[in-house]
Amino acid sequence: MLFNFKSIFLLALAANAYALPISTAGDTALETRSLEARAQYKDVDCNGKVFKADILRSSISKAREVQGLKDQKKPGYSYPKPYGNDDGKMFPGASGLYEYPLNSPVYSGKGIPGSYRVIMTSNYGYKGALLHKGGNTFQKCINVEDKKKQEEEDARKKKEESDKQSKEAKEANERKKHGKGGKQ
Protein backbone atom coordinates (compact mmCIF):
# COMPACT_ATOMS: atom_id res chain seq x y z
CA MET A 1 0.00 0.00 0.00
CA LEU A 2 2.84 2.38 0.83
CA PHE A 3 4.42 1.68 -2.55
CA ASN A 4 1.19 2.57 -4.35
CA PHE A 5 0.89 5.84 -2.44
CA LYS A 6 4.45 6.83 -3.38
CA SER A 7 3.85 5.90 -7.01
CA ILE A 8 0.64 7.90 -7.17
CA PHE A 9 2.29 10.88 -5.49
CA LEU A 10 5.27 10.84 -7.87
CA LEU A 11 3.04 10.39 -10.89
CA ALA A 12 0.88 13.35 -9.80
CA LEU A 13 3.95 15.48 -9.18
CA ALA A 14 5.39 14.63 -12.61
CA ALA A 15 2.07 15.36 -14.34
CA ASN A 16 1.78 18.69 -12.55
CA ALA A 17 5.34 19.71 -13.50
CA TYR A 18 4.71 18.71 -17.12
CA ALA A 19 1.52 20.80 -17.27
CA LEU A 20 3.14 23.99 -15.94
CA PRO A 21 4.12 26.48 -18.65
CA ILE A 22 7.83 27.02 -19.04
CA SER A 23 8.94 30.62 -19.03
CA THR A 24 11.43 31.49 -21.72
CA ALA A 25 13.92 34.33 -21.55
CA GLY A 26 11.81 36.30 -24.05
CA ASP A 27 8.67 35.89 -21.95
CA THR A 28 10.48 37.10 -18.85
CA ALA A 29 11.96 40.09 -20.67
CA LEU A 30 8.54 41.03 -22.08
CA GLU A 31 6.90 40.69 -18.66
CA THR A 32 9.64 42.82 -17.06
CA ARG A 33 9.30 45.54 -19.71
CA SER A 34 5.54 45.53 -19.26
CA LEU A 35 5.86 45.86 -15.49
CA GLU A 36 8.45 48.62 -15.81
CA ALA A 37 6.26 50.53 -18.25
CA ARG A 38 3.28 50.38 -15.89
CA ALA A 39 5.37 51.20 -12.83
CA GLN A 40 6.72 54.48 -14.16
CA TYR A 41 3.33 56.13 -14.68
CA LYS A 42 2.70 58.29 -11.63
CA ASP A 43 0.51 61.31 -11.01
CA VAL A 44 2.35 64.51 -11.92
CA ASP A 45 2.05 68.10 -10.76
CA CYS A 46 2.64 70.62 -13.53
CA ASN A 47 2.98 73.93 -11.75
CA GLY A 48 -0.19 73.33 -9.73
CA LYS A 49 -2.16 71.32 -12.31
CA VAL A 50 -2.22 67.61 -11.48
CA PHE A 51 -2.53 64.91 -14.12
CA LYS A 52 -3.37 61.38 -13.02
CA ALA A 53 -1.31 58.42 -14.23
CA ASP A 54 -4.24 57.08 -16.27
CA ILE A 55 -4.40 60.35 -18.26
CA LEU A 56 -0.67 60.06 -19.01
CA ARG A 57 -1.14 56.46 -20.16
CA SER A 58 -4.24 57.35 -22.23
CA SER A 59 -2.46 60.30 -23.83
CA ILE A 60 0.41 58.12 -25.01
CA SER A 61 -2.05 55.55 -26.30
CA LYS A 62 -3.88 58.30 -28.20
CA ALA A 63 -0.53 59.57 -29.55
CA ARG A 64 0.09 56.13 -31.05
CA GLU A 65 -3.39 56.15 -32.61
CA VAL A 66 -2.98 59.68 -34.00
CA GLN A 67 0.48 58.84 -35.39
CA GLY A 68 -1.20 56.04 -37.35
CA LEU A 69 -3.61 58.60 -38.81
CA LYS A 70 -0.71 60.91 -39.69
CA ASP A 71 1.05 57.99 -41.37
CA GLN A 72 -2.10 57.47 -43.46
CA LYS A 73 -1.82 61.13 -44.52
CA LYS A 74 -5.07 62.09 -42.78
CA PRO A 75 -5.28 65.91 -42.66
CA GLY A 76 -5.17 68.12 -39.57
CA TYR A 77 -2.83 66.19 -37.26
CA SER A 78 0.39 67.89 -36.14
CA TYR A 79 1.12 65.77 -33.05
CA PRO A 80 2.95 63.76 -31.94
CA LYS A 81 6.01 65.67 -33.01
CA PRO A 82 9.72 65.51 -32.16
CA TYR A 83 10.76 67.04 -28.86
CA GLY A 84 14.26 68.54 -28.83
CA ASN A 85 14.97 67.85 -25.14
CA ASP A 86 16.86 71.12 -24.74
CA ASP A 87 20.19 69.40 -25.48
CA GLY A 88 19.48 66.71 -22.88
CA LYS A 89 18.73 69.12 -20.03
CA MET A 90 15.17 67.92 -19.34
CA PHE A 91 15.77 64.19 -19.79
CA PRO A 92 19.52 63.53 -19.55
CA GLY A 93 20.84 60.88 -21.93
CA ALA A 94 17.54 60.64 -23.83
CA SER A 95 17.21 61.27 -27.53
CA GLY A 96 14.60 60.61 -30.18
CA LEU A 97 11.81 61.92 -27.95
CA TYR A 98 8.32 63.00 -28.99
CA GLU A 99 5.73 65.27 -27.43
CA TYR A 100 1.97 65.02 -27.40
CA PRO A 101 -0.52 67.42 -25.79
CA LEU A 102 -1.52 66.45 -22.27
CA ASN A 103 -5.11 67.37 -21.49
CA SER A 104 -7.98 66.00 -19.47
CA PRO A 105 -9.98 64.71 -21.30
CA VAL A 106 -7.31 63.30 -23.61
CA TYR A 107 -6.37 65.47 -26.60
CA SER A 108 -8.03 64.15 -29.77
CA GLY A 109 -5.20 65.08 -32.09
CA LYS A 110 -6.97 68.12 -33.52
CA GLY A 111 -7.68 71.55 -32.14
CA ILE A 112 -5.82 73.71 -29.66
CA PRO A 113 -3.16 71.62 -27.91
CA GLY A 114 -2.93 73.58 -24.64
CA SER A 115 0.22 74.12 -22.59
CA TYR A 116 0.95 70.67 -21.19
CA ARG A 117 2.86 67.88 -22.93
CA VAL A 118 3.54 64.21 -22.29
CA ILE A 119 7.01 63.19 -23.48
CA MET A 120 7.64 59.72 -24.89
CA THR A 121 10.23 57.67 -26.71
CA SER A 122 9.84 56.67 -30.35
CA ASN A 123 8.32 53.36 -29.21
CA TYR A 124 5.81 55.20 -26.95
CA GLY A 125 7.64 54.68 -23.67
CA TYR A 126 6.74 57.32 -21.09
CA LYS A 127 9.55 59.74 -20.16
CA GLY A 128 7.77 62.54 -18.32
CA ALA A 129 5.47 65.53 -18.58
CA LEU A 130 6.16 69.20 -19.21
CA LEU A 131 4.51 72.58 -19.06
CA HIS A 132 5.12 74.39 -22.37
CA LYS A 133 5.63 78.03 -21.38
CA GLY A 134 5.96 79.27 -24.95
CA GLY A 135 8.66 79.29 -27.59
CA ASN A 136 11.22 76.67 -26.61
CA THR A 137 10.67 77.13 -22.87
CA PHE A 138 9.49 74.10 -20.89
CA GLN A 139 9.16 73.32 -17.20
CA LYS A 140 9.37 69.71 -16.07
CA CYS A 141 6.39 68.40 -14.12
CA ILE A 142 7.07 66.73 -10.78
CA ASN A 143 5.82 63.33 -9.64
CA VAL A 144 3.23 64.02 -6.94
CA GLU A 145 4.85 61.41 -4.66
CA ASP A 146 8.24 63.10 -5.04
CA LYS A 147 6.70 66.52 -4.41
CA LYS A 148 5.07 65.30 -1.19
CA LYS A 149 8.33 63.73 -0.03
CA GLN A 150 10.20 66.96 -0.80
CA GLU A 151 7.61 69.05 1.07
CA GLU A 152 7.85 66.71 4.08
CA GLU A 153 11.65 66.91 3.98
CA ASP A 154 11.53 70.71 3.72
CA ALA A 155 9.11 70.90 6.68
CA ARG A 156 11.35 68.60 8.73
CA LYS A 157 14.43 70.73 7.97
CA LYS A 158 12.53 73.93 8.78
CA LYS A 159 11.41 72.47 12.14
CA GLU A 160 14.96 71.34 12.93
CA GLU A 161 16.28 74.82 12.14
CA SER A 162 13.56 76.43 14.25
CA ASP A 163 14.26 74.05 17.15
CA LYS A 164 17.98 74.81 16.87
CA GLN A 165 17.35 78.57 16.92
CA SER A 166 15.04 78.22 19.93
CA LYS A 167 17.64 76.17 21.80
CA GLU A 168 20.38 78.69 20.97
CA ALA A 169 18.18 81.59 22.10
CA LYS A 170 17.36 79.78 25.34
CA GLU A 171 21.05 79.07 25.98
CA ALA A 172 21.92 82.71 25.25
CA ASN A 173 19.27 83.87 27.73
CA GLU A 174 20.66 81.47 30.34
CA ARG A 175 24.22 82.78 29.80
CA LYS A 176 22.96 86.35 29.99
CA LYS A 177 21.06 85.58 33.19
CA HIS A 178 24.05 83.90 34.82
CA GLY A 179 26.44 86.54 33.55
CA LYS A 180 24.49 89.37 35.25
CA GLY A 181 23.95 87.94 38.66
CA GLY A 182 25.64 84.59 38.49
CA LYS A 183 29.08 83.62 39.78
CA GLN A 184 30.85 85.80 42.30
pLDDT at 157: 76
What is d(CA 119, CA 40) in angstroms, rounded to the nearest whole number? 13
Which domains are delineated in the chain? 40-142 (3.10.450.30)
pLDDT band at 160 (very low <50, low <70, confident <90, very high): confident
Mean per-residue pLDDT for 18-32?
45
Contacts of 79 (CB under 8 A, 6+ apart): 63, 66, 99, 100, 101, 107, 109, 113
pLDDT at 87: 73
Phi, psi of 136 (to 5 degrees): -105, 30
The residue that leads in pLDDT, 116 or 38, is 116
The secondary structure of residue 23, as a DSSP letter, is: P
Q: What digits encode the pLDDT tens for the residues 68-105?
A: 998 988 888 889 999 887 777 888 888 889 999 999 89
Please compute Rg for the chain using Cα positions: 29
pLDDT band at 3 (very low <50, low <70, confident <90, very high): low
Residue 16, classed as helix, strand or coil, is helix
For the cut 70, the answer to whether the pLDDT of residue 11 exceeds it is no
pLDDT band at 154 (very low <50, low <70, confident <90, very high): low
Mean per-residue pLDDT for 3-23?
55
Highest average pLDDT, of 1-10, 21-30, 38-47, 76-85, comes from: 76-85
Q: Put the strands of the sheet holding 49-51 in their side by side order.
A: 49-51, 44-46, 142-143
For the cut 90, the answer to whether the pLDDT of residue 56 exceeds it is yes
